[in-house]
Structure formats: C-alpha cells, structure tokens
Amino acid sequence: MPPTQKKIMLSAVQPSHLLTLGNYLGALRNWVKLQDDYTCLFFAVDLHALTVKQDPKKLREQTYLALATYIATGIRPETATLFIQSHVPEHAELAWILNCFIYMGELSRMTQFKEKSARQGQAISAGLLTYPALMASDILLYQTHLVPVGEDQKQHIEITRDIAIRMNHIYEVSLFTVPEIYTPPVGARIMSLQNPMCKMSKSDPDSNSAIYLTDTNDQILKKLKKAVTDSGSEITLDDQKPGIQNLLQIQAALSEKTPSEIVSEHTGKQYGHLKIKTAEKIIETIGPIRDRTLELMTHKDYLHSIFQAGAKHARERAQKTLAHVYDQVGLIKGRY
C-alpha cells in the first residue's frame, strides 16, 4: 500500500530513566513488527518525564538514548517519523484544550496517578494528575488509528478514546479519530525481578529489579541469578509462583513461544537452570541492541538530524488538527 493510504500508528516512551526489558517487550518490539503496515510516528515524551523529578543533564542524555534505542531495535528512520515531544509545541497546546474536557474524577481514578502520587508523598505535581490529557494530545493530534502499548498504559488509551468520542459528540464533527489499542499476547506486563507482584519499571530505585537495555551481559546474568522466586523447586505455571511465571513469560516472549512450551522445555530442571536460560535468551536479544545503541550515541549529530526532520514532519500534521480544534471550540484565528 502506498504510505499515504496507510493507517497511522503512534507510540512513545518517557525518557525518565534507562529503558527496560519491559519497555522492549511491551512496546518497542511490537512497533518494529507492525511498522511496515502503518505510517508510523515514534517519539520520546520528554514533557511527560517532567511529571516526576528529573536531573536536567540526565534527562537530555536519556532522551537521546531513547531515540537511539528505537533505531537500534529496528525502527527505520527512513520511513518512520522519529522526534522529541517538546520539539512539537502543538502537543502542549492541545493538551490544554483537552484538560478542559476531562473530568477530575476520571483523572484521579487512573492507576498510574494513584501509584506514582503515593510514592511522591505530599508534593504531588499537578502534571502527574493531568498526564492523561497530554498523552491524549500526543495521540489525537495525529488522527492515530493504532497505539501499541504495554498493559499498564491501556487505561490511558481508554481515557483518550473517551475524550475523542466526547469532543466529536459535543461539536458534532469528526475532530479526532478514535484510536485502537494493541497489546502483545505475551510480554504485555513484565514484572519486577525483585518484587514479581509489581511491574518492571524504569524508575524503580532498585536497579536489580529491572533489566536495562544498556546492561552488560554480566549485569544481566547477575540480575537473573538474584531474581526473587519462591522456596519450591518445580517449574510450573502457577499463580502462587509469580517470580517463576515472570521468568517463563520473559523467555516465552523472547522465543516467540507460549509459557507452557517453555515449561515443557524445563521438565525436571531446577529454578537455577531457568534463571540461566532466561539470562541467555535476554543476552541474545538485548546484546546486539545495546551495542548498536551505544554506537549510535557516539553520533549525536546524526541523531539530531533525524529528530529535526521528524519534528518538522510531525508539526505539519499536528498543526492541521490543532487549527481545526481551535476553530471548532471558538478561538479566533490568529493573523500573524
């Protein structure tokens, strides 16, 4: 199909810390698999990252790193539009309008808000609460058809759909395409290696809880050996064994097999064997991505040229939607 007739697929990652194996299996890998069937926009959501405390120097470096990782994973910059969220000011502009159409009750019910605000204690930023408005803006600006994400982001896409339907209804015009969600059958929720009841997260302060996409082979092996399991020894798919289930999920996702097939491959083996095999599988996949990412990080001018071209292209699309929204909600067109 010629690119102009393809549907739009869009997704992003917050450069709030180093990207994890969860980000890879839940998101990035699926972007690569689906990229040929869609017109794609992928970006680093640096404005979202500001909803939790950031070191400015690290944030800049992590933003480069996120985009380098996209390319290293297999996203083709020749066909996909790659950019940085803050380089397209329309994201923040539309987010303001959407903020006026989302209800406080909807925002305060979001699981991510509840979990992250509990960690922030008394000083909870308003940005953390209104995060879904900015995310809805990211998606709706481009008339997106499909958003591939991990399980944890499903709720934010659902609220995006609700806002799109609500505003299309209020103004009796198609302001926004209502996006569909894509989550992978295996790997949509990778759990922490240290607490398998919580999801693996970039911002978890315990670095042993996550495999970062820049970890060395040695670090990966050590983290897997330290992974929390339980006191048993039989490898089975059992809700009472969340640590073992997580390792089986990781191996299954990386091998394109089902978790039950992985169980069969480990019949009669001990937990230690499963940990080593899982580490080997991660190294096999992540090793080349890490090496390519670090190589790309030595060519910042190249990376910069890609996001500059990407932002220019993204703005052309974003401006059309924003102008239509401004007009429909009753703002006077500027004449500058």
Q: How far is the CB of 246 from ligand AQP (least distance, A)?
A: 10
The C-alpha angle 267, 268, 270, rounded to 5 degrees, equals 105
Q: Which residues pair with 127 in a beta bridge?
A: none
Nearer to ligand AQP, 23 or 137 (CB): 23
The DSSP H or E segment spanning 39 is strand 38-44
Site mask for ligand AQP (CB under 6 A), range 135-154, x = bound: --------------xx-xx-
- 14 touching ligand AQP, by CB under 6 A: yes
- Residues 139, 261: Cα–Cα separation, whole Å: 37
The set of catalytic residues is 116, 199, 202
Instruction: List binders of ligand AQP among 23-42 (CB under 6 A).
Output: 23, 25-27
Pick one of 188, 244, 296, 303: the residue that binds ligand AQP (CB under 6 A).
Answer: 188
7-13, strands of its sheet edge to edge: 81-84, 38-44, 7-13, 146-148, 180-182
- Residues 177, 260: Cα–Cα separation, whole Å: 38
Do residues 42 and 82 touch, judged by C-beta distance below 8 A?
A: yes
With CB under 6 A as the contact rule, which of the stretches 84-92, 194-202, 284-292, 313-321 interacts with ligand AQP? 194-202
Instruction: List binders of ligand AQP among 293-322 (CB under 6 A).
Output: none
- 16 touching ligand AQP, by CB under 6 A: yes
Do residues 251 and 281 touch, judged by C-beta distance below 8 A?
A: yes
- 274 touching ligand AQP, by CB under 6 A: no
- Residues 148, 166: Cα–Cα separation, whole Å: 22
Site mask for ligand AQP (CB under 6 A), range 100-139, x = bound: ----------------------------------------
3-class state of residue 187 by DSSP? coil
Nearer to ligand AQP, 175 or 244 (CB): 244
Residues contributing to the site for ligand AQP (CB under 6 A): 13-14, 16-17, 20, 22-23, 25-27, 149-150, 152-153, 188-190, 199-203
